[in-house]
Amino acid sequence: MSTTLSQAKIAFVGAGSMAEAIIRGLIETKVAEPQNLYVMNRSDQNRLAFLRSEYGLQATSDNQTKETFLREADVVVLCMKPKDVVTAFAELQPLLNEKQLLVSVIAGLSIAKAEALLQTTMPIVRTMPNTSSTIGLGATGMSFSAKVNDTFKQLATQMFEAVGIVTIVEEEKLEIVTGVSGSGPAYVYYFMEAMIKAAIEGGLTEENARQLTLQTVLGAAHMVEHTQEDPAELRRKVTSPNGATQASIEALDRFQFSEAVVQAVFRSAERAKEMGEQIAAPSPIAKSS
């Protein structure tokens, strides 16, 4: 296959928001050409028509065309929901070959289970992106099967760098990546919800509450990025002895704020693992004649 993404044919199985985020990133950064991008889903014609008109790519739910797309692809990106994996993989299995690169964006699905379901030893990249990828500020954890060569590693990394940053980790660390950056945006939104609620209860208008909260979170993230200081050190600089901020941190500590966040990260990681384990392994008697 081609050694550059700009010439590679990439087929997306599943046409949801994550597939669209990656597609938009690839096109906007000119990493890939729209005519080399194929998207397929089971039946949602409106969704396919939108993607076709918005990005100039090729999209289909027709089985024969899907087969053509998949056989021609250099890279196949799996973007379906975990509950659809077994059915979808049974359809995919005869259409894939070991010269292709398989990229999984399926939460909890291990490389070993993907290999077993597809009965393949093709190179597989397992990824855990997050929803901020939709605006090009994603954080993606990535692991490789033993068959992924340096060229494929570079291609996969380049794909996801088009929508943010990439962190390469050993596969067993991907669940904790899910807990930190996969689910992480939701923790921040939840925190922002609480700040807005408090501001409104304190007498601010909803617009002012929202604006001040947004700018505060944005500013704090940029401070960490620009100063490269530890967040704990930046927190100490804001917290004057016996001041208003110290009083607020003490209130958070009374409600075990830090421990709650740690437990949230671990529970997300644990749940991602559970979801992967719930994906049924292939049964030797499942094949029909």
Q: What are the tens digits of pLDDT across the range 175-204? A: 999 999 999 999 999 999 999 999 999 999
- CA distances to 4, 129, 179 from 265, rounded to whole Å, are 36, 15, 4
**Gap between the Cα atoms of 70 and 10, Å rounded:** 9
Q: Please answer whether residues 130 and 184 qualify as being in contact, where contact means their C-beta atoms are separated by less than 8 angstroms.
A: yes
What is residue 29's three-state secondary structure? coil
pLDDT at site 282: 54
The average pLDDT across 4-23 equals 91
Kindly report which listed range (16-30, 182-196, 213-227) carries the lowest average pLDDT score: 16-30
CA pair distance 254, 248, nearest whole angstrom:
10
Q: What is the pTM (predicted TM-score) of this model?
A: 0.89
pLDDT at 140: 97
- Is 60 exceeded by the pLDDT of residue 2? no
How far apart CA 26 and CA 223 sit, in angstroms, is: 29
